[in-house]
Amino acid sequence: MRTRHIAPQMTAQILPLGQARPQPTLDPMMALVATDLGRVNEVILARMQSEVPLIPELAGHLIAGGGKRMRPMLTLACARLLDYAGERHHKLAAAVEFIHTATLLHDDVVDGSSQRRGRRTANIIWGNPPSVLVGDFLFSRAFELMTEDGSVRVLRILANASAVIAEGEVDQLTAQRRIETSEDRYLHIIGSKTAALFAAACRIAAVVAERSEDVELALDAYGRNLGIAFQLVDDAIDYASDGATMGKDAGDDFRDGKVTLPVILAHARGSDEERRFWRDAIEGRRVSDDDLAHAKQLLERTGALADTLVRARHYAARAIDSLAGIGGAKARAALAEAAEFAVARAY
């Protein structure tokens, strides 16, 4: 699915202008799914074991490395939203987390990342080959859990998401260091590599709860829009935050030549000289700390960072709107606050 350009002036506000409220958090969603998440963690711990000691050691480094478990929590919270009383969602949420963890291991190898969630990446500690192979192991465990569930529909949703994620990563790789990358292509990439798993994690809850296709599509839309908002904010804070806050090296996207929305907007709005700077930077010829500082100045001056966050708020609002009239008020409020939190991380 291609995600179309949204003009800034069309962006809906999550909160009325001037309304004060506490900073949104994931606390309501975490409280909603606390018991279920404990069961999911038991499944994760059991299924990451192997007679080959390196596998649980390396997998555990990332799985236990401080991640919020947001994607499996979405599966659990959506099941709560639909008053599902069974246990199938525990294994499926674990499968979602294994898919996510496997993609992180592979991404860190492709990107040559040295830090994630404030810790050294697995590829730096153990090397690239073990990281890739343990990622493959986790993908295999995810598909074991899916087949144990027995639903062909669930298997189709998660298998398709896995394929779309891989396509998105390859598409991002081919767009790397290409300043001419369009906004449409960028949105298609993040819709694939990030939003697809958010959407699938939410949608499978409607399948196990035996709800209509309309409910499936509503939860898919919630997850997809949330995922896009989440990635837009990530791409903005790569320039607007620091390594300690982000849990990764500041300016990684800049030095890796990734063409994200802030860069696309700043390049389009810049002078001829500024566009030459962006081309040199993205193609790898301007990557010093001074160059990064200059890039940040251009992003601020052109409003590129601010407008990226405006787009993120729009997608978060669309996510919230997707849940209208579905399920109980408590679970719906928790999911709405999770969407608001996705954007609030930038402030």
In-domain check, residue 4: no
Quote the domain boundaries for residue 67.
23-344
CATH code of the domain covering residue 257: 1.10.600.10
Other beta carbons within 10 angstroms of residue 217's beta carbon come to 14
Q: What is the pLDDT of residues 59-75, one digit of tens each?
A: 999 887 767 899 999 99
Q: E strands of 110-264, at which residues? A: 115-116, 119-120
Q: What is the pLDDT of residue 62?
A: 86
In-domain check, residue 233: yes
In-domain check, residue 11: no
9-36 mean pLDDT: 72
H/E element, 177: none
In-domain check, residue 124: yes
Q: Is the pLDDT of residue 5 over 50?
A: no
Total domains in the fold of the chain = 1
In-domain check, residue 68: yes
CA distances for 11 relative to 6, 40, 126, 142, angstroms: 7, 36, 44, 37
In-domain check, residue 7: no
Q: What is the pLDDT of residues 112-154, one digit of tens each?
A: 888 887 789 999 999 999 999 999 999 999 999 999 999 999 9
Contacts of 138 (CB under 8 A, 6+ apart): 48, 59, 98, 99, 101, 102, 105
Distance CA 108, CA 112 (A): 6
In-domain check, residue 131: yes
- Per cent of the chain over pLDDT 90 is 84
In-domain check, residue 8: no
Q: Is the pLDDT of residue 272 over 50?
A: yes
